Structure 1
Amino acid sequence: MASAENESLDHVPLFPLNAAVLPGGRIPLQLFEPRYLDMLAGCLREQRGFVVVLLREGSDVGSQAVFYDIGTYVRIVDFQQLDNGLLGITAEGLWKVAVNRSWRAPDGLNLGDAERLPEEPEDVLPSGHSELAAVLRALLRHPVINKLDLSVDFSSAREVGWRLTELLPLDSQEKQRLLEIQDPLQRLDRLSSLLDAMD
């Protein structure tokens, strides 16, 4: 795999989903549409990744998906034939990106030109947000999530916030708002408010 610094973000495949992934996160995907199977072959051949963008409206299997323009550049870390005959892949988030323009290829695949967003600050998880780490630990024990084999630094404000954004049952608009926040402490404050509202 080419280094993250050198990977081209021009004409990068875009994968609209009803789920979010952030840097360091992993997401399992099942591929069956020809456009996505071709995308996978191209990514493996060219040793490049693709961008996961959250759906604004439409379906991730439909041709008329409308998606947000801030997403996450991911790389393929595993792929295998599933019991149902579909191809399963696991994608891991590398960094957040802004899609500056997008278009649809003749085969229906969404493509775009994107730019890498600045790294978020490395803040320590404040003691006042220790309950968020506890919630995350509980979520990671779920068998489906446990299979993703996520490595989490529970002392990192951004890692705890990123993983909770992915794993909590929030609507797409809220997940996108959390994804777009560049201040990890601000994201934790928002997550704390959302969890209070769930009680």
Structure 2
Amino acid sequence: MKVPVFPLNSVVLPGGRVPLQLFEPRYIDMLTRCLKEDQGFVITLLRDGEESGRVASFYETGTYVRIIDFQQLENGLLGITVEGDAKVSITRSWQQDDGLNLGEVAFLPAETRADIPLVFHELPSVLRALFRHPVIDELGMSVDYDEACSVGWRLTELLPLDKLEKQQLLEMQDPLTRLSRLQELLEALEEG
């Protein structure tokens, strides 16, 4: 599958929602094409370079996202909200003349659904507290507080973690391994 690739300084996972502001012609053209063809694009973490730069390297694992809302913002820019659909591997990438990155992607296998083990009982409570923040509440994301993938994905996006740590959490395919790592990171944050 050939899709546009949008390198960012942030990570999104399946079910996550991210508001974006588009101002570069290459991304406005991408949005128009995606809406016309009812297609999404891939958000992946920027490895090197700038979000608005023409030369950028990015990680091979990202998330295929769909546009769920768009509007003209007060600052004159185009605002869109995207929602993560599935994790993908970018098997080949190249850049168009206008600077838009394209890639051939393969969808990664869906993660195994699992209940939250008792040892991780605090993680859903932390996530509930994060969801009480007005900015997060405004995104309208849904979460299953009893399910390991859902809790792990949302905590990965919302906790104040280093972006490389978030990328490693994205790349994990086992939701219980992700919860274990998140618990370690949360304990480190609490210790200061």
TM-score w.r.t. length of structure 2? 0.97
Over the matched positions of the two proteins, sequence identity in percent amounts to 63
Q: In the alignment, which residue of structure 2 is the partner of 1:134? A: 125
1:152 and 1:160 in contact (8 A); partners too: yes
Amino acid of the structure 1 residue aligned with 2:112: P
Alpha-carbon separation, structure 1, partners of 2:163 and 2:46: 7
Amino acid of the structure 2 residue aligned with 1:23: P
Q: In the alignment, which residue of structure 2 is the partner of 1:61? A: 52
- 5+ long unaligned stretches in structure 1: 1-8
Q: In the alignment, which residue of structure 1 is the partner of 2:13? A: 22
1:55 and 1:172 in contact (8 A); partners too: no
Amino acid of the structure 2 residue aligned with 1:68: Y
Residue 171 of structure 1 deviates from its aligned partner by 1.3
1:22 and 1:96 in contact (8 A); partners too: yes
The Cα RMSD (Å) is 0.7
1:80-119 alignment to 2 at 5 Å? 80-119=71-110
- The CA deviation string for residues 147-174 of structure 1, in whole angstroms up to 9 with x for no partner, is 1001100001000000011111111210
Q: In the alignment, which residue of structure 1 is the partner of 2:63? A: 72
Amino acid of the structure 1 residue aligned with 2:12: V
Q: In the alignment, which residue of structure 1 is the partner of 2:116? A: 125
Q: In the alignment, which residue of structure 1 is the partner of 2:142? A: 151
Alpha-carbon separation, structure 1, partners of 2:89 and 2:107: 7
Residue number among 43, 54, 57 corresponding to 2:34 in the alignment: 43
- 5+ long unaligned stretches in structure 2: none
Residue 142 of structure 1 deviates from its aligned partner by 1.1
Residue 64 of structure 1 deviates from its aligned partner by 1.5
Alpha-carbon separation, structure 1, partners of 2:54 and 2:131: 33
TM-score w.r.t. length of structure 1? 0.94
